[in-house]
Amino acid sequence: MRLELRDIRHIYSPGAPFEIEALRGVSLAVEPGEVLGILGGTGSGKSTLVQHMNLLLEPTSGDVLVDGADAATLKKSELRRRVGLVFQFPEAALFAPTVAEDVAFAPRRLGLDEDEVERRVTESLKLLGAEHLKDRSPFALSGGEQRRVAIAGVLAMGPEVLVLDEPASGLDPAAREDLLRLIRTLHNTGTSVVLVSHDTDEVAEVADRICVLEKGEVRAIGSPSEVFYTNPEFAPATVQAVAALGEAAWNAGRPVRFDETLRALAQLMEG
């Protein structure tokens, strides 16, 4: 599906002395099957933005469109099944006695029969490399394991778009790598992924397109090389190094991913 946010404004506590305009007219679209990276730090409005994608929050003005139709006309449960949202530190919402029960929560709420529910639970856990945790209590797992279970719980709904808000937050580098691998796998199965993160390295590794969010506004949007080379201040350090080479960079192409960058620079240095 194509998910579009058109000129979204969101004001918290409108009219009150402490009202905050978290989003000031944000427009972007998630194309079918793409990985969209949204780069933003604290105060950028990213968490407010993602909650509009499944209408957990309603815009003060602006529209949310699903395949051209107003998302507000869809049944909430339908929308939230198709757009799966994983919050930051999602393990805080684990509650069931076993991992399998927890992951089954969402598919059960969809009214699926038990066989289908079980199939989905197994599949999602497998995708997250957490099948062996099936019968464990979610509260007895390590942080990284809990994170996997929480994400599996949302994937079990079979969403067309998966929105991940800072999914690698607090994870060690190895777990982070696993997560990026998951995103690539999902991408290959046709699921669209929205990766919201402050970490430029992370986003650069997997994004097809990048949107930079700052203080509630879109500062740049486009392909990674467009965004990073036109605005190096938003780019990962490795890309900044290439950009700093000036004209010599032209011979290096405009690499964005780490491997590409290393290869391009090595070639440049070989002569």
Partner 1 sequence: MSGSVLRTLADPGSISCESLTYSYPGAVEPALSGVTFEVRAGEYVGVVGPNGGGKSTLLRLLNGLLVADSGIVRIAGRDPTAEPFEVRRRVGMLFQNPENGLVAPFVEDDVAFGMENLGVPHEEMHVRVREAIRAVGLSGYERREPHTLSGGEKQRVALAGLLALEPEILLLDEPTSMLDAAGRRDVMDRMRGVRGEKTILHVTHHLGELLDADRVLVLNGGKLVADVSPERLVLDADLLTGNRLVLPPLSRLATGLGLAATKQRTPEELAQEIRESIRKRTAAR
Partner 2 sequence: MNRSFGQFYPVASALHTLDPRAKILATALLVLGLFLVDSVAGLALVAATVMALVAASHVPPVTFLRTLRPVAFIVVLTVLFQILFSREGETLFAWGILEVHAGGLRLGLFLGIRILLLVSAAALLTATTAPLALSDGLEDLLSPLKKLRFPAHEVAMMMSIALRFIPTLQEETQKITKAQAARGADFSEGGPLSRVRATIPILIPLTVGAFRRADDLAEAMESRGYRGGEGRTRYRELRFRPRDAIALAVTALVLAGAALL
Q: What is the binding site for partner 2 (CB under 8 A)?
A: 18, 51, 54, 56, 77, 80-81, 84-87, 90, 92-95, 105-106, 109-110, 139, 153-154, 157
Q: List Cβ<8 Å contacts ≥24 apart for 226-231.
A: 228/204, 228/254, 228/256, 229/254
Q: Is position 16 an interface residue for partner 1 (rule: CB under 8 A)?
A: no
| Phi, psi of 95, rounded to the nearest 5 degrees | -145, -15
Distance CA 179, CA 255 (A): 22
Q: Is position 111 an interface residue for partner 1 (rule: CB under 8 A)?
A: no
* Residue 95 vs 262, nearer CB to partner 1: 262
Structure tokens at 270: 């070989």
Which residues, 225 to 244, sit near partner 1 by CB under 8 A?
236-238, 240-244
Per DSSP, the three-state class of 216 is coil
Per DSSP, the three-state class of 121 is helix
Shortest separation between residue 178's beta carbon and partner 2, angstroms: 21
Shortest separation between residue 82's beta carbon and partner 2, angstroms: 11
Structure tokens at 266: 């090595």
Which residues, 152 to 171, sit near partner 1 by CB under 8 A?
166, 169-170
* Residue 153 vs 236, nearer CB to partner 1: 236
Shortest separation between residue 216's beta carbon and partner 1, angstroms: 17
How far, CA to CA in Å, does 181 sit from each of 6, 97, 169, 178?
31, 29, 16, 5
Distance CA 60, CA 17 (A): 17
Contact (CB, 8 A) for 169 and 88 = yes
Find the farthest-apart pair of alpha carbons in the chain and give their distance in angstroms, rounded. 63
* Residue 47 vs 122, nearer CB to partner 1: 47
Q: Is position 42 an interface residue for partner 1 (rule: CB under 8 A)?
A: yes
* Residue 94 vs 265, nearer CB to partner 2: 94
- Footprint on this chain of partner 1 (rule: CB under 8 A): 41-42, 142-144, 166, 169-170, 172-175, 177, 198-199, 201, 236-238, 240-245, 248, 258, 261-262, 265-266, 268-269, 271
